Amino acid sequence: MKDFLFIYRMNYAGIQERTPEQMQATMQRWMDWMGHMAAKDQLIDRGNRLHPSGKVVGTDGIITDGPYTEIKESIGGYSLVRAASCEEAAELAKGCPVLTMGGNVEVREINAM
Amino acid sequence: MEQPELIPHLFRTEFRNIVSVLCRRFGFGQIETAEDIAGDTFLAAAQTWTLKGIPSNPVAWLYHVAKNKARNHLQREHHFRSTIVPGIGMAEPAAEAEEIDLSPQNIRDSQLQMMFAICHPAIAAEAQVGLSLRILCGFGIEEIAAAFLTNKETINKRLYRAKEKLRQEKIAVAMPPPAEMEIRLDAVLRTVYLLFSEGYYSSSHDQTLRKDLCLEAMRLCSLLLENSGTNTPPANALLSLMCFHASRFDARVNEQGEPVLYDQQDTRLWDTELIAKGSYFLNCSATGGRLSKYHLEAAIAYWHTRKEDTSEKWESILQLYNRLLQLEYSPVAALNRTYALARANGKQAAIAEAEKLDLPDNHFYFTLLGELYTGIDNEKAKRHFEQAAGLARTQTDRQLIRQKIDKL
């Protein structure tokens, strides 16, 4: 088994105002998906969501506001999963709710130091 | 109580008290001595009480005799160390024999400390349960063997090895230092839970014995709650969980001793007092920042004490299993989660996920698949049930699966 990082990207600007019920339904979909991976003993760490804004530190030491969430596909969160191969991990990622919200999942094998 | 029942009854409640106190006093190196003294005390009781009748305060009589025997032992030990040992150039004499303290407070403290010693991470989990039954619960070797569905020799060997390990590792009968408390308490809780499960899920047909195991686990957990250092939210959650499960004890078995599944249980047989206690301890557990697996399992068990099927019930159970699995994977939790998913989101959704679970040797897995396909594709359901029956290890399990096939 190998370890993989799932990076969830989505377009923050595209997210509409939602009612509490809609937010709860989204939350349940995410939790069901995490539960699905955990039930297959493939979830190492469900990870976290990220705040939309932060800072970017450049090579010249200049700090700017960023990342630029107005552009499409900024990182919304991450999880750590376990799979036999990158193909299997990618297959697993097909169930991610971010895909129904116009986002995508980047699947990267972890190259342990 | 007449004498024939009185002695076994007192043995169950007092043997452990005497052993814990003596063992704390002597150290684990002499646990057999502590057990011998406690055993001799009961032998003396059986002989004396038959001749002279039962004393007015049997427990005080037992404590008095145990103290005398312990004092004699310590004096012999002291004599050995102070007169013989120096002659052959060995260690210093031990302190003068002091009074053995069998006060309720010291009994409680000793039991608590014994719990931490027995549940030391150096001891294998199975041995911890065996030792707990023997030393903390005063079970006979035969009873322990019956609970584990094995023979006396196996249990004796297992206990002997565990005691050897306790000696080798020089594990002290003492409370762990504050810095280690949380980890060590987790180990104690795990053993208490194992003890409970051993009773609750054992394939032994001895109902009384099984119930005793569960009640003992609950008693040990209550002991933890009586002490401020161990009265933690996870400990409260564990007691809550055990109360909820135990509330169905009488409903799970019919008059013929056959298991009755949850859906078919007569709710009038559920113990409402235990359900209320479970709710009380669940409330007590709702403090602090740590959500333990006992919290989640207690909350799941709480929903099961409500018989009516609402969408809120199954959605809640599903979400609790989602979180439980994230804390700790287990095949049982994975299967239960999939069942909850079927109840919350429908069988089709659950089938899609169940097919992806990889549990080829687990008869519960095929039973679940059979359940999910029932009414959707009965041919497939039958095939899964048959595969389950082929994998099932007990006659009872096979019977239950056969009933499902017949109903298709």
What digits encode the pLDDT tens for the residues B206-236?
A: 778 888 889 999 999 999 999 999 999 999 9
User: B90-119: per-residue pLDDT in tens?
Assistant: 555 455 556 788 998 899 999 999 999 999
CB of B334 less than 8 A from some CB of A: yes
Q: Given CB atoms, is A62 within the 8 Å cutoff of chain B?
A: no
Q: In this structure, what DSSP letter does residue B132 have?
A: I
Range with lowest mean pLDDT among A2-16, A32-46, B241-255 = A2-16
**ipTM (interface predicted TM):** 0.84
CB contact under 8 A, B318 and A40: no
For residue B327, pLDDT over 90 is answered with yes
- At residue A88, does pLDDT exceed 90? yes
> What is the distance between the alpha carbons of residues B64 and B95, in angstroms, rounded to a whole number?
22
Helix axes B181-201, B104-118, angle to 10 degrees: 90
Q: Which residue has the tokens 């009994």?
A: B107
Comparing CA positions, the residue from B331, B316, B314, B237 lying closest to residue B280 is B237
Q: Which residue has the higher pLDDT, B74 or A79?
A: A79
Full DSSP string of B69-92: HHHHHHHHHHHIIIIITGGGT--P
Q: Do A31 and B323 touch (CB under 8 A)?
A: yes
Most confident option among A40-44, A51-55, B158-162, B256-260? A40-44
Chains A–B, number of C-beta pairs less than 8 Å apart: 43
Q: Report the 10 Å Cβ neighbour count for A89.
A: 22
B321 touches chain A (CB under 8 A): yes
Q: What is the pLDDT of residue B88?
A: 64
pLDDT of residue A70: 57
- In the prediction, which pLDDT does B185 show? 95
- Find the largest Cα–Cα distance for chain A: 46
Beta-carbon contacts of B394 under 8 Å, excluding residues fewer than 6 positions away, are B203
Tokens of A2: 């190998």
Count of residues in chain A? 113
Do the Cβ atoms of B366 and B388 come closer than 8 Å? Answer: yes
Dist CA B108 CA B17 (whole Å): 8
CA distance B243 to B235: 12
Q: What percent of chain B has pLDDT over 70?
A: 95
What is the share, in percent, of chain B residues with pLDDT greater than 90? Answer: 57
Q: Is A41 near chain B, with CB under 8 Å?
A: yes
Query: What is the C-alpha to C-alpha distance for residues B134 and B109, in angstroms, rounded to an integer?
Result: 18
**Does position B60 have pLDDT exceeding 80, yes or no?**
yes
Local confidence band at B142 (pLDDT 50, 70, 90 cut-offs): confident
Provide, as residue numbers in chain A, all residues whose Cβ is less than 8 Å from the Cβ of B315: 28
pLDDT at position A51 is 86
In this prediction the pTM is 0.86
pLDDT of residue B93: 45
Give residue for tokens 């005080």: B60
Tell me the chain B residues in contact with residue A36 when contact means C-beta distances shorter than 8 Å.
353
Residue B141: pLDDT over 90: no
Rounded CA separation B238/B219 (Å): 12
Contact B48, B62 (CB under 8 A): no
Distance of residue A88 Cα from the nearest chain B Cα, in angstroms: 12
Q: Is the pLDDT of residue B3 over 50?
A: yes
pLDDT band at B373 (very low <50, low <70, confident <90, very high): very high
Q: Do A31 and B322 touch (CB under 8 A)?
A: yes
Cβ–Cβ gap B357/A39 under 8 Å: yes
| Lowest-confidence region among A13-17, B16-20, B177-181 | A13-17
pLDDT of B202 > 80? The answer is: no
Task: Of A106, A105, A101, give the one whose Cα is nearest residue A11.
Answer: A101
Question: Hey, is the C-beta of A34 within 8 angstroms of any chain B C-beta?
Answer: yes
- Each residue of B348-380: b (16+ CB within 10 Å) or e? eebbebbeebebeebbbbbbbbbbbbbeeeeee
Distance CA B174, CA B114 (A): 7
Q: Which of A68, A82, A96 is nearest to A7 (CA)?
A: A96
Task: Report how far residue B330's alpha carbon sits from residue B169's, in angstroms, rounded to the nearest whole number.
Answer: 31
Mean pLDDT of B149-160: 90
Question: What is the mean pLDDT of the segment spanning B140-146?
Answer: 85
Residue A54 has a pLDDT of 85
CB B222 within 8 A of CB B239: yes
Which residue among A31, A38, A46 sits closest to B329, beta carbon to beta carbon? A38
Q: Report chain A's terminal Cα–Cα distance, integer Å.
A: 17
Between A93 and B253, whose confidence is greater? Answer: A93
Given CB atoms, is B353 within the 8 Å cutoff of chain A?
A: yes
- Identify the pLDDT of residue B1: 58
CA distance A99 to A105: 8
Chain-chain contact of A35 with B325 (C-beta, under 8 angstroms): yes
How far does the CA of residue B76 sit from the closest CA of chain A (Å)? 58
CA nearest to A27 within chain B: B319
Q: Judge whether A95 and A32 are in contact, CB under 8 Å.
A: no
Q: Is A40 on the interface with B (CB under 8 A)?
A: yes
Question: What pLDDT does A36 receive?
Answer: 95
* For testing contact with chain B, the best of A27, A34, A37, A41 (most B CBs within 10 A): A41
CB proximity B362 to A under 8 Å: no
- pLDDT greater than 90 at residue B301: yes
The SS3 call for residue B363 is helix
